[in-house]
Amino acid sequence: MKRWMAGFGLLIGLGILSVMLWRLDWHVFAEAFRQVRLPWLAVAISLALMGQALRALRWNIVSGRSLSQYSHFWRCAVIGQFCNFIYPLRAGDILRIMSLRKFANVPLGLAASSAVVDRVNDGFLLIVCLLVVLSLHGADVIGVAGIAGIIGGFGLMVLGATVFVVWGGRARGMVERIGAKFPPRWAGRIGGSYENMLEVSGAFRRPWRVVGMVVVNILIVAADVGIVAVMLLTMGWELPLEAALTTIVFLWAGSALPSAPGFIGIFQIACVLALGLYGIDGSSAFAFSVLLHLFSLFSAVAQGGAATLSYGINLRREYSRTLAQGGPAKVGET
């Protein structure tokens, strides 16, 4: 993880935000906030808690670890979400791996490989939901280049994971031969990483785990769409449920791009573009994005802060250590 990459993401986010603020109609923006119906926020909070609990459960299932360790998976997952909001370039994805290794005694290779497969699940959900949105609005909604980028990038990730699940075990001899060409230290890491990936991929060969992941994925989409739908009602807008799904797809796709801490700028443009398809003007959609962004930040800080306190860790120190190491490079270690 390089500092220049963090700076690049910051410039992109702030640049987008600056352009949007320059074009903002402040009267419309303020009027949108005056129409907010606060009682709906209680429902959104419940859905946010459920969504994060489901993501932790999915990670637990993917890892193959006993559900008795679920509390660790939940705490490490919310710490990761929290750090993704306060640090650039999705640093929380690395910190949640390191936390799981430290506090749940999960080997680093298994923690990292299960986290990668967990993200593959997110990529699969994005592709499926994107296809639904495209069926509703047509390819022009994000353009051919956008479709190619999303389906190409995430599609290759999902395809690669699928191929590894089906045929990965047959490559053991090849991996051993490749590892033999490296010094013993590196050979151990290569072999360890491969074995950890095989262990995680084994979850997809057990029908009950596959069914569990499918059910959890469906519930995750329902929770995320529900949050946005409730927040739209909070603004006093009665839009079809597909508007919430469309907004979620734009937000998921945007969060994969380099961005400033907290996805500033990316979050706003995603909401404005998505809601513009349903006749919501830019200034009102910007107001909605601010409300949803603050809500998401509050949810992440509250849950991640509680988990951080329960573990007694210093996030700034852990982040600095991870930045210096360039991430969990020794993923083959146990």
Q: Express each pLDDT in 181-202 by its tens digit.
A: 777 777 666 666 666 676 666 6
* 102 within domain boundaries: yes
Say if CB 4 and CB 10 are below 8 A apart: no
Question: Given phi > 0 = left and psi -120 to 50 = alpha, else beta, which region is 281?
Answer: beta
CA distance linking residue 309 with residue 85, whole number of Å: 17
Q: How many CB atoms lie within 10 A of CB 36?
A: 15
Average pLDDT over the chain reads: 79
Q: Indicate whether 327 pLDDT > 60.
A: no
pLDDT, position 3: 54
Q: Express each pLDDT in 250-286 by its tens digit.
A: 998 877 665 566 677 788 888 999 999 999 988 889 8
* 331 within domain boundaries: no
Judged by average pLDDT, the poorest of 7-11, 138-142, 316-320 is 7-11
* 242 within domain boundaries: yes
Higher-confidence residue of 304 and 185: namely 304
The dihedral sign for the CA sequence 152, 155, 161, 165:
negative
pLDDT, position 331: 40
* 2 within domain boundaries: no
* 8 within domain boundaries: no
* 19 within domain boundaries: no
Higher-confidence residue of 225 and 37: namely 225
With bands split at pLDDT 50, 70 and 90, how would you rate the model's confidence at 53? Answer: very high
pLDDT, position 255: 76
With bands split at pLDDT 50, 70 and 90, how would you rate the model's confidence at 113? Answer: confident
* 5 within domain boundaries: no
Task: Show the domain range for 297.
Answer: 25-325
CA distance linking residue 254 with residue 265, whole number of Å: 10
The count of domains in the chain is: 1
Q: How many Å from the N-terminal Cα to the C-terminal Cα in the chain?
A: 23
pLDDT, position 105: 87
Q: Indicate whether 295 pLDDT > 70.
A: yes
The upper half-sphere exposure of residue 162, i.e. CA atoms within 13 Å in the direction of its Cβ, equals: 9
* 210 within domain boundaries: yes
Name the maximum alpha-carbon separation found in the chain.
68
> Which ranges of the chain does DSSP label H, i.e. alpha helix?
3-22, 26-34, 40-63, 70-86, 92-104, 108-137, 143-167, 172-180, 184-201, 207-234, 241-255, 266-276, 282-311, 315-325
Q: Express each pLDDT in 159-177 by its tens digit.
A: 776 676 666 667 777 777 7
CA proximity to 17, closest of 87, 9, 141, 140: 9
Instruction: Calculate helix-pair angle for 108-137, 184-201, nearest 10 degrees.
Output: 50
